[in-house]
């Protein structure tokens, strides 16, 4: 059974950089059928797609965040990562990693989510 | 970007009843059948229910059904069970960026 697990700091200061890693178990990130993505959800609000990466390193980013986002993949560790720079309080959210089915571009496996609070 | 409008924001249904949720593309753009539905319970990650507007994901009960194409889509839950009370989101994948609707809360 595929499992995804987010890890990283739960509290980050304004203007600093958020760094999260998603570890994939029960399957490989090195697959032609899937992308690997990040989605976030501010407390009490809806879902926002951040971006995706393919195992070869190709990326798609949400234009609203593109200037601040980097997603990378490490196939040797079966992980992919998110960096979001220049944080403000509005970046406070639960950050989910998920598997994106390439043929239907929907998220079929999700991590449990990691709450990241931006505060001084 | 494509904006998805979900209605109603909150839907009150009795156990055993039927729920009909709507997802509409706000602009004059067709997204064909490129729509998915998710269920999210408090404190949990979303779960994929439907993709391709009407195809149930693996393990999803038959009481969940999706329909529609173009700009208007519907998720129907027949005979609501206690575990179905949750927030439901639609997501389009016809155009980048991927976008989600604002959600419909199904409550007792």
The Cα A59–Cα B15 span in angstroms is 43
For A47, the closest of B48, B51, B89 (CB atoms) is B89
Rounded CA-CA distance A93/A113 in Å is 9
Q: Which residues of B touch A46 (CB under 8 A)?
A: 89, 100-103
Query: Would the CB atoms of B45 and A101 count as touching at under 8 Å?
Result: no
The mean pLDDT value of chain B amounts to 96
Report pLDDT for A57: 93
| Whether the Cβ atoms of residue B24 and residue B73 lie closer than 8 Å to each other | yes
**Residue A42's CB: how many other CB atoms inside 10 A?**
14
Size of interface A-B (CB pairs under 8 A): 56
DSSP B102: -
Asked if B93 lies within 8 A of A105 by C-beta distance, the reply is yes
Which region holds residue A112: left if phi is over 0, alpha if psi is between -120 and 50, else beta? alpha
The residue among B97, B101, B102 with the most chain A CBs within 10 A of its CB, best to mutate, is: B97
pLDDT value, residue A53: 95
Would you give per-residue pLDDT tens digits along chain A (120 residues)?
999 999 999 999 999 999 999 999 999 999 998 999 999 999 999 999 999 999 999 999 999 999 999 999 999 999 999 999 999 999 999 999 999 988 878 999 999 999 999 999
> What percent helix, strand, coil does chain B show, rounded to 5?
5, 45, 50
The torsion angle over the Cα atoms of residues A42, B52, A80 and A17, rounded to 10 degrees, is: -30
Question: B43-93 pLDDT, tens per residue?
Answer: 999 999 999 999 999 999 999 999 999 999 999 999 999 999 999 999 999
- Predicted local confidence at residue A105, as pLDDT: 84
Q: Report residue B108's pLDDT band, with 50, 70 and 90 as the boundaries.
A: confident
Subunit contact B96:A60, Cβ cutoff 8 A: yes
């Amino acid at each position: 059974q595929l499992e995804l697990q987010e890890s990283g700091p739960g509290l980050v200061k304004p203007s600093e950089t958020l760094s999260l890693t998603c570890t994939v178990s029960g399957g490989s990130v090195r697959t032609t059928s899937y992308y690997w993505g990040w989605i976030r959800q501010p407390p009490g609000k809806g879902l926002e797609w951040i971006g995706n990466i393919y195992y070869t390193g190709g990326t798609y980013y949400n234009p609203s965040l593109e200037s601040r986002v980097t997603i990378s993949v490490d196939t040797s560790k079966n992980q992919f990562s998110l960096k979001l720079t220049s944080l403000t309080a509005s970046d406070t959210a639960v950050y989910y990693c998920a598997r994106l089915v390439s043929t239907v571009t929907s998220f079929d496996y999700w991590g449990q989510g990691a709450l990241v609070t931006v505060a001084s | 970007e494509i904006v998805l409008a979900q209605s109603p924001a909150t839907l009150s249904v009795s156990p055993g009843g039927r729920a009909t949720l709507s997802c509409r593309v706000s602009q004059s753009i067709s997204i064909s059948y490129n729509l998915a539905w998710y269920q999210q319970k408090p404190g949990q990650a979303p779960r994929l229910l439907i993709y391709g507007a009407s195809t149930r994901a693996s393990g999803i009960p038959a009481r969940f059904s999706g329909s529609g194409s173009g700009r208007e889509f519907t998720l129907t839950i027949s005979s609501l069970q206690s575990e179905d009370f949750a927030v439901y989101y639609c997501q389009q994948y016809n155009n980048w960026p991927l976008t989600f609707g604002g959600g419909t809360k199904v409550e007792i």
